[in-house]
């Protein structure tokens, strides 16, 4: 038998002779990963060594571009592995991730702490700064490369470099474990119901999905899980308040106890980030992180959050007062608790607007929604989509599309993966199996993937989306457009490789179309009758857009404040995490606190994702998207000139220029928070 680390048989190391050079998923086995990683790291190290040993005078091409192109094999393998570790994982993959993480961290540290390599980059930067021989994108690549080295310890003393290595290795493992614990805790819980009276209030489609969930586990009755398409509707519709509380408490205390607890990990991550920031010369991790953002500093973030709190909190409090009165009119003799909010909000929304998710679901068949969003991108940006049947897929639920422009030019391969499963993390995200680039005239188009957790089809019904799921798809598709339309030379600046508080603009601007009648008319038709969504129903959707918006805003600000509380610390966190969170969110918490509740233990965005000291960016980007969409509203939501300007100034540019300059080029002015406040109904027109 030939060992699987032989490059001739390991598919991760071989050429991918597949359509669009897509990953050959059906050939890749778990045992291929570790040998492939080890080989690819060695090859990447050899490429780095060649740059270091080059006797020619360091210049942009032989140093900066050479470094950009080094390690391509390792990037390719990493993209496959970590995308599957998030979307289609198993115990073996998770164990491999724990073993691979230190290898990759060591490789990264060896790269950034290489004195001879950094000296060459510094020499290029010092020489180029005296000339104007580089294009704007080349200057940006040089600046970003130099900054990345500095921010990863290149200027530290030998003693501090060793400490940096240790911290980064620990952080890599801890953040990985945090995410794995959240997934394990989510999968570990289920609520089995056998008495039909306990599912009273649930729509037939939701009950049917729970019945099929139980059937899949060889159980009678109905099974509800902590995956959003199951958990969310149960809280929204189930009349049984005791069971609503039960599943709420299970969700809100995820990963707080047992062998999958994240409590100690939260403290370790927080304190290690602070230690790393201090080592690099910053007072806090937020100060370090925000240096590379549109906001630039903590004060700007605080100003944004405080301004929104002032506007939203009185509105949210009035909303909850009205909801309390409504609940009492429905027979509630108790104060509304977190497990009551969705339930009574949905009933009040139905009362005010004759509208709820079950009224709109029949018009949002998944296939029609996808078709509608594809058509929207065709109208705006000229993109076309062709379903592929010969492209390798990593799961039967996944579909692949060839994306081309109006001239037939190949733009991207797009994967879509819609339904929850035990091997998939919760939430929704856009990722890449390959970035776009065009170095030396060798064009590489991206392979983009959109991963969601939407309502599954059942034996009796197709997948019918709740309105928020339609919004979610538009959001992730906006990220996808950022990747697919990228026209950049260097992949490290391509697509969504931009500042964290700019990256949500392309995604959030797409959500605006969700309440536009002209867009809904394109695709929203009843899945049984084929009738278009009635104009009066569209009107009710538009009217209800700002329903409970004050509360929704405060909920986001609550997350943002909690994130900043962890990362603006200038001393280590020793306090009990439950007490710390309670104190950090006291100004933004609207509903009564519940013993055992903890956001932090499952706050994957900041403890295992890339949003540490950056969760505010959703609201920062909302300011941008509300302001930017006002141009579409003024000129017409399908206006070609507006779309072309947004495409050319934002979507194609990636991180090749300062984001504020890109925005001003599109908008002709800096963004104003007023458009967001007006759109959200927090102030009048």
Active site amino acids? 476
Separation of first and last alpha carbons in the chain: 73
Q: Residue 81's closest CA among 25, 41, 42?
A: 25
Q: How far apart are CA 553 and CA 659, in angstroms?
A: 25
- In the structure encoding, which two tokens stand for residue 45, read together? 């190290």
Residue ranges of E strands in 389-538:
399-404, 410-417, 429-434, 437-439, 442-444, 447-451
- In the structure encoding, which two tokens stand for residue 463, read together? 């997948």
Contacting residues for 383 by C-beta, under 8 A, at least 6 apart: 374, 377, 403, 404, 405, 411, 484, 485
Question: Left if phi > 0, otherwise alpha if psi is -120 to 50, otherwise beta: which for 527?
Answer: alpha
Residue 190, strand partner residues: 225
- In the structure encoding, which two tokens stand for residue 442, read together? 């060798």
Q: List Cα–Cα distances, 516 to 540, 541, 619, 626, in angstroms.
A: 12, 9, 22, 14
- In the structure encoding, which two tokens stand for residue 36, read together? 């492939």
- 464 backbone dihedrals φ, ψ, rounded to 5°: -115, 120
The H or E element containing residue 626 is helix 617-635
Residue ranges of E strands in 81-229:
190-193, 222-225
Q: How far apart are CA 589 and CA 79, in angstroms?
A: 38
Per the CB < 8 A criterion, the answer to whether 269 and 171 are in contact is yes
The H or E element containing residue 55 is none
Q: Residue 568's closest CA among 612, 621, 618?
A: 612
Edge to edge, the sheet with strand 429-434 lists 384-388, 399-404, 410-417, 447-451, 429-434
- In the structure encoding, which two tokens stand for residue 448, read together? 């983009």
C-alpha of 38 from chain center: 29
Q: Residue 395's closest CA among 4, 6, 7, 28?
A: 28
Q: How far apart are CA 573 and CA 581, in angstroms?
A: 11
Per the CB < 8 A criterion, the answer to whether 492 and 68 are in contact is yes
Q: How far apart are CA 304 and CA 557, in angstroms?
A: 10
Per the CB < 8 A criterion, the answer to whether 186 and 214 are in contact is no
* Cα atoms in the Cβ-side hemisphere of radius 13 Å centred on 611: 21
Per the CB < 8 A criterion, the answer to whether 386 and 402 are in contact is yes
Residue 386, strand partner residues: 402
Q: List Cα–Cα distances, 287 to 34, 283, 301, 362, in angstroms.
A: 36, 7, 11, 48
Residue 662 class from Cβ within 10 Å (0-12 exposed, 13-18 middle, 19+ buried)? buried
- In the structure encoding, which two tokens stand for residue 80, read together? 């496959």
C-alpha of 159 from chain center: 36
**From the CA atom positions of the chain, what is the Rg in Å?**
25
């Amino acid at each position: 038998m030939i060992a699987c680390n032989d490059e001739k048989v390991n598919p991760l190391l071989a050429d991918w002779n597949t359509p669009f050079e897509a990953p050959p998923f059906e050939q890749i086995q778990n045992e291929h990963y570790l040998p492939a990683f080890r080989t690819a790291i060695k090859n990447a190290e050899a490429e780095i060594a060649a740059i270091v040993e080059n006797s020619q005078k360091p210049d942009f091409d032989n140093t900066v571009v050479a470094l950009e192109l080094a390690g391509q094999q390792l990037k390719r393998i990493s993209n496959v592995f970590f995308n599957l570790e998030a979307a289609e994982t198993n115990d073996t993959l998770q164990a491999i991730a724990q073993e691979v993480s230190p290898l990759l961290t060591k490789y990264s540290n060896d790269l950034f702490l290489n004195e001879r390599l950094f000296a060459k980059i510094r020499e290029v930067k010092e020489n180029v700064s005296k000339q104007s021989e580089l294009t704007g994108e080349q200057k940006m690549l040089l600046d970003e490369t130099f900054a990345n080295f500095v921010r990863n310890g290149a200027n530290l003393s030998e003693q501090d470099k060793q400490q940096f290595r240790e911290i980064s290795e620990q952080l890599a493992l801890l953040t990985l474990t945090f995410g794995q614990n959240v997934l394990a805790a989510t999968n570990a819980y289920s609520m089995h119901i056998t008495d039909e009276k306990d599912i009273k209030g649930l729509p037939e489609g939701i009950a049917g999905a729970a019945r099929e969930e139980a059937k899949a586990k060889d159980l009678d009755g109905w099974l509800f899980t902590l995956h959003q398409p199951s958990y969310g509707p149960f809280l929204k519709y189930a009349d049984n308040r005791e069971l609503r509380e039960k599943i709420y408490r299970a969700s809100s205390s995820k990963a707080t106890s047992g062998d999958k607890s994240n409590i100690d990990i939260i403290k370790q991550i927080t304190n290690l980030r602070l230690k790393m920031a201090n080592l690099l010369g910053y007072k806090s991790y937020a100060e370090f992180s925000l240096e590379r953002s549109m906001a630039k500093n903590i004060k700007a973030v605080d100003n944004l959050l405080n301004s929104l709190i002032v506007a939203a909190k009185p509105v949210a409090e009035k909303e909850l007062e009205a909801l309390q009165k409504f609940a009492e009119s429905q027979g509630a003799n108790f104060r509304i608790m977190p497990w009551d909010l969705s339930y009574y909000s949905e009933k009040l929304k139905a009362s005010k607007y004759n509208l709820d998710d079950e009224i709109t679901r029949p018009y949002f068949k998944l296939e029609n929604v996808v078709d509608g969003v594809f058509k929207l991108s065709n109208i705006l940006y000229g993109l076309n989509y062709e379903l592929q049947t010969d492209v390798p897929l990593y799961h039967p639920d996944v579909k692949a599309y060839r994306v081309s422009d109006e001239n037939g030019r190949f733009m991207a391969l797009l994967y879509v993966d819609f339904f929850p499963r035990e091997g998939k993390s919760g939430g929704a995200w856009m990722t890449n199996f390959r970035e776009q680039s065009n170095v030396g005239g060798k064009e590489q188009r991206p392979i983009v993937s959109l991963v969601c957790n939407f309502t599954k089809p059942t034996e009796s019904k197709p997948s019918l989306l709740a309105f928020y799921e339609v919004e979610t798809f538009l959001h992730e598709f906006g990220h996808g457009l950022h990747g697919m339309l990228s026209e950049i030379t260097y992949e490290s600046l391509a697509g969504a490789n931009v500042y964290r508080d700019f990256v949500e603009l392309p995604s959030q601007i797409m959500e605006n179309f969700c309440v536009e009648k002209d867009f809904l008319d394109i695709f929203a038709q009843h899945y049984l009758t084929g009738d278009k969504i009635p104009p009066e129903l569209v009107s009710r959707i538009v009217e209800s857009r700002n329903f409970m918006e004050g509360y929704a805003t405060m909920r986001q600000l609550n997350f943002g404040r909690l994130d900043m509380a962890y990362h603006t610390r200038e001393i280590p966190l020793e306090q009990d995490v439950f007490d710390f969170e309670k104190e950090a969110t006291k100004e933004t918490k609207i509903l009564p606190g519940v013993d055992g509740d903890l956001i932090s233990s499952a706050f994957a965005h900041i403890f295992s994702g890339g949003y540490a000291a950056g969760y505010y960016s959703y609201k920062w980007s909302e300011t941008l998207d509300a302001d930017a969409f006002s141009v579409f509203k003024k000129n017409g939501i399908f206006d070609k000139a507006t779309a072309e300007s947004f495409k050319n100034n934002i979507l194609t540019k990636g991180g090749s220029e300062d984001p504020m300059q890109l925005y001003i080029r599109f908008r002709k002015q800096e963004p104003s928070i007023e458009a967001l406040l007006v759109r959200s109904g927090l102030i009048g027109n």
